[in-house]
Chains A and B, each alone.
Chain A
Amino acid sequence: MRIVDWLYRGVLRAYPPEFRARFGGPMRDAFFDRYAAARTVGRFRAAVVLLAIFADLTASAALLRFARREKTSMNWQSIGRDVRYGLRMLRRNPLFAAVAIGALALGIGANTAIFTVVNGVLLRPLPYADPGHLAMVWSTNTAEHRDHDAVAPLDFLDYRNAAAFSDLQATYSFVVGAALTNASGSAEQIVVTAVTPGMFEMLGRAPQIGRPFTAAEVQTAIVISDGFWRARLGADPAILGRTLNVNNQSRTIVGVMPPDFVFPYRTMLGPSGFSRSMAIDAWLPLEFVSADSRSTGVASLTRAARFLSVVGRLRPSATAAQANAELQGIARQLAAAHPDTNKVVGVSVVPLHEQTVGTVRPALILLFGGVGFVLLMACMNLANMLLARSSARQREMAIRAALGAGRARLIAQTLVETTLLGCAGGAIALIALKWGIGALIASAPGDMPRIGEVRPDAAVLGFTFVLSLATGLAIGIAPALAASKPELQASLKDSGRGATTGRSQRRLRSALVSAEVALALVLTLGAGLLLRSFLSVLAVDPGFRPDHLLTLQMTVPARYQTPDQRRALYAELFGRLGALPGVVTTGGTTRLPLGSTNVTTKVGVEGRSMAVSEWPEIEFRRAMHSYFTAMGMPIVRGRGFASSDGPAAPPVVVINQTMARQMFAGEDPIGRRVKFGSAASPSATIVGVVGDVRHSGLEAPPSPEVYTYYLQGPPVNPFIVIRTSTDPASLATAVRGELQAIDKEISVYDVRPMTQVRSEAMAQRRFLLRLVGAFGLLALVMAAAGVYGVMALIVSERSPEIGIRLALGAEPSQVVWSVVGQGLALAGAGVIAGFAASLLLSPVLSAQMFGVRLLDPPTVAVVPSVLLIVAALACYVPARRAMTIDPVDALRM
């Protein structure tokens, strides 16, 4: 019912405003009464009635509009007649009408669906007040060429002095799992982040119930999301004042944010910030403390640790560039005043909208362009079909002209007919839109920012309407012009048999077909390059064996406070898991490749004189139990960790090959000693070098990594990996059961086979490839249809000539070759034009290329060949017909 109501309101907009104000309400009632009555009969009946009502609504709206403008009333009456006449003509050619409307519905529908995504993700303003004046502030690292680092708390407080911002607030640059303990004492995992009090006010969004938290309540208040309120708290309207136990701290609910409020988006977080479950359940107030603290909701005042995402509201007079310049000045002062921490730290200001959706823009533009090409090809095919029909209808047009119809009337007649086709296609596209968008969203990568906000709105409706009209007019222009200058004498005298077309018209049709082949080449080349890139990514060795590997994340209950308690827990855990049938090896880590965030630490090598500020930042993980063996990561030098590397033993680390190469070029790293974070920290000995893994993504080259052992620092939030001898998914229940048996407060989540983690890492690539591949296939089919159509026409026109040739003794094979050759010449011209167009359009694709060059030899060789073969096959049917022409028959024509 809702989508119907929404459609109804859309169509109502086409009515003149006075009419809408006067009759909109009663019309709506009558409309729904009728629809409801039809629904009681059945779904099919309801659909038929709905179609009839919408056609009637649209026609009435058009008549009212025209009637208002043209008081003299001749024109709109004639258009009304044209509409009726057009409908009659379409009804007389049901096959043509069905093919044309079907093709247009497909083309317009695909465009509308993609536009809905583009609109929801790229075009619609972010769900904040005046989002155009919001910007993000990042730290940069000039030594390591990073421009997207999170901000340190003390730097953030200094940046607040910038005059370009009227307000500057911060959030954690990551989201975290927190334990929500209920009255019975069992815990569940919720997703939270912390924001500075004042963030909601700065974003300009008030809670739907209650109020934002204040600076005075940093330890006691919490604001929850609409989703959490509905799913877990039963949408209780009297929720304010209820307390939640989050991470063993009791907090009072002071506000519930509205359903459309999203903050932060995944793309607003730092490199360490993403998590698959991005729906935030609650926001904690961020408290700055001077002590060193790791607890959730707290930020230690430091310049050494960078973990804030900073968002600010620019003053109306200030631009992002001005703010950038001003903050750079502040950053330079900080670098001079605090060289230990800030020597290489700069700053960069990015508009918030760009920050949020900038990364998906290239992919969406690529899709939008591709689907536009598909519609363009459909239009060219239909224009061609209509041209063929218009030559067949020349007699009819000639008679109308002879009876006094002016050229404008004849053009109008054709355009009205094709516009009807376009509108019918658009109407069907709108009806199917809900399913189309559903399918698109389902196949889109889950981490695409704002994909959850994609829904049809007035802009989509307007786009479809304009596109339908434009499509209708576009396919009509060439046939309308052609039909409007019939050669009266010739047409009327001609008995109607084998009506020939003019030379200019044939040239037009040939040009259309060549252009179609060119578009098809661009699309199929694009699809080919995407496929090759996909295969390159698929062939990347991730550095571990993803098959037969089960992964999960767990949170250790807060009761296990001391390292010893956690060591005991892990001893039991790995003991139990290892004893399960089907389990080969077990291990764990704090950062799972392809499936989790990153964290870095500064690493210094003992015996080298280097200031702490210049120590390189290295990615840091902990390995648990037999992690390297379970993952299938080879030890290339030295040894892996062993149970003898316990809490009392000397601290040891294992580094990866990239770190060995970058930090110990030409030296043996084994036995060298390193320090983390500061010169005062205890040093650890490198005992082994392990193989590189692709951590951030299959396409990103490995970074230097260092591993410590869990017995020398047991984590609280680890990933567990289990190498199995059977299907890993089949062990999920048993594994979960073992963990719950140890302690029912252990929360277990994201239980997935590693193959699935790897597959999700390719989700965006797969999404693009599927869609562009489908566009490419459609393009091939349409190019074939276009070539077939025009060659069939050419053969029927050349019949007398071919007849003479055959009569004079030409071999049938010569005839076939002459026809196929003519078709291939058209296709060849298209291929050349298509190559030129591809080179022009290549920047659109460059962001998606991996491991292939633009002029990838296999793609460049195969795609045009396939296209030419398809074109040749499409010529073959008309060519065979040419071969069988009876010379006598042909000459009589």
Chain B
Amino acid sequence: MDTERFLPLTPVAFEIMIALSAQRRHGYEIMQEVERRTEGRIVLHPGTLYRALSRLLDEGLIDELDERPDAGVDDARRRYYRVTPLGRAVARAEAARLARQLSAARQAFRRGRA
């Protein structure tokens, strides 16, 4: 699978992928999850969120769910999103890319301090 052409992911897109990798969520849950996990350092607003979701959907990194978990309990209008296999691979590649970048940075800064 050619994941390279999707990289790098924007920070917002990457946050969304992380939020969706554990479980399917609807829009507001994504916003809440990102805000919770980053302890409020990243706040997604609906405009940014849905623009990013539309892009991720077009690129096939996430898809929309037809069936709702707990049908009947939740608002029927809500749409749930989950990561596609391609998306999972891209997210892993992005994580690996960031990890390489991070270790390079650590080395560089350690050398700088010495």
Which residues of A are in contact with B by a Cβ distance under 8 Å?
Answer: 19, 22-23, 25-27, 29-31, 33-34, 52-53, 56-61, 63-64
Contacts of A26 in B (CB 8 A): 26-27, 50, 77-79
Interface string of B9-22 (1 = CB under 8 A from A): 00000000000000
Write the chain A residue with the least CB distance to B79.
A26
Alpha-carbon distance A27/B51, docked complex (angstroms) = 10
Determine which of A29, A57, A59 lies in contact with B77 in the assembled complex, contact meaning CB atoms within 8 Å: A29
Contacts of B51 in A (CB 8 A): 60, 63-64
Across the interface, do B77 and A31 meet the contact criterion of CB distance under 8 Å? no
Which of B40-48, B89-97, B103-111 forms part of the interface with chain A?
Answer: B40-48
Determine which of A22, A29, A33, A53 lies in contact with B47 in the assembled complex, contact meaning CB atoms within 8 Å: A53
Write the chain A residue with the least CB distance to B57.
A22
Q: A52-B45, A53-B45 are in contact. Are A29 and B78 (CB under 8 A)?
A: yes
Alpha-carbon distance A29/B75, docked complex (angstroms) = 10
Contacts of A22 in B (CB 8 A): 54
Asked if B56 CB lies within 8 Å of chain A CBs, one says no
Interface string of B44-86 (1 = CB under 8 A from A): 0111111101100000000000000000000101110000000
Contacts of B53 in A (CB 8 A): 23
Asked if B31 CB lies within 8 Å of chain A CBs, one says yes
Alpha-carbon distance A128/B19, docked complex (angstroms) = 53
Across the interface, do A27 and B50 meet the contact criterion of CB distance under 8 Å? yes
Contacts of A34 in B (CB 8 A): 28, 31, 45-46
Alpha-carbon distance A60/B26, docked complex (angstroms) = 19
**Which residue of B43, B45, B49, B75 has the most chain A CB atoms within 10 A of its CB atom?**
B45
Alpha-carbon distance A64/B54, docked complex (angstroms) = 10
Write the chain B residue with the least CB distance to A52.
B45
Alpha-carbon distance A52/B78, docked complex (angstroms) = 23
Contacts of A58 in B (CB 8 A): 47
B5 to chain A minimum Cβ distance, whole angstroms, is: 15
Which residues of B are in contact with A by a Cβ distance under 8 Å?
Answer: 26-28, 31, 43, 45-51, 53-54, 75, 77-79
Alpha-carbon distance A57/B47, docked complex (angstroms) = 4
Across the interface, do A60 and B79 meet the contact criterion of CB distance under 8 Å? no
Interface residues of A: mostly helix, strand, loop or mixed? helix
Contacts of A30 in B (CB 8 A): 26-28, 31, 46, 49-50
Across the interface, do B48 and A56 meet the contact criterion of CB distance under 8 Å? yes
Across the interface, do A60 and B77 meet the contact criterion of CB distance under 8 Å? no
A510 to chain B minimum Cβ distance, whole angstroms, is: 43
Contacts of B54 in A (CB 8 A): 19, 22-23, 64
Across the interface, do B45 and A57 meet the contact criterion of CB distance under 8 Å? yes
**Which residue of A19, A57, A63 has the most chain B CB atoms within 10 A of its CB atom?**
A57
Contacts of A57 in B (CB 8 A): 45-47
Q: A19-B54, A23-B53, A25-B77 are in contact. Are A56 and B47 (CB under 8 A)?
A: yes
Contacts A52-B45, A61-B47 aside, 12 further interface pairs with beta carbons under 8 A come to: A19-B50, A23-B54, A25-B77, A29-B78, A30-B50, A33-B28, A56-B47, A57-B46, A60-B47, A60-B50, A60-B51, A64-B54
Across the interface, do B45 and A29 meet the contact criterion of CB distance under 8 Å? no
Alpha-carbon distance A61/B75, docked complex (angstroms) = 26
Write the chain B residue with the least CB distance to A64.
B51
Write the chain A residue with the least CB distance to B80.
A26
B63 to chain A minimum Cβ distance, whole angstroms, is: 13
A503 to chain B minimum Cβ distance, whole angstroms, is: 46
A-B contact pairs, 5 of them (CB 8 A): A25-B77, A27-B50, A30-B49, A59-B48, A64-B51
Alpha-carbon distance A389/B26, docked complex (angstroms) = 47
Contacts of A25 in B (CB 8 A): 77
Give the top 10 A-B pairs by smallest Cβ distance, nearest first: A60-B47, A56-B45, A57-B47, A30-B27, A56-B47, A33-B28, A30-B28, A23-B50, A60-B51, A30-B46
Contacts of B28 in A (CB 8 A): 29-30, 33-34
Alpha-carbon distance A63/B55, docked complex (angstroms) = 12
B52 to chain A minimum Cβ distance, whole angstroms, is: 9
Across the interface, do A27 and B27 meet the contact criterion of CB distance under 8 Å? yes
Write the chain A residue with the least CB distance to B27.
A30
Alpha-carbon distance A60/B53, docked complex (angstroms) = 12
Contacts of A33 in B (CB 8 A): 28
Alpha-carbon distance A198/B75, docked complex (angstroms) = 47
Alpha-carbon distance A64/B58, docked complex (angstroms) = 13
B92 to chain A minimum Cβ distance, whole angstroms, is: 27
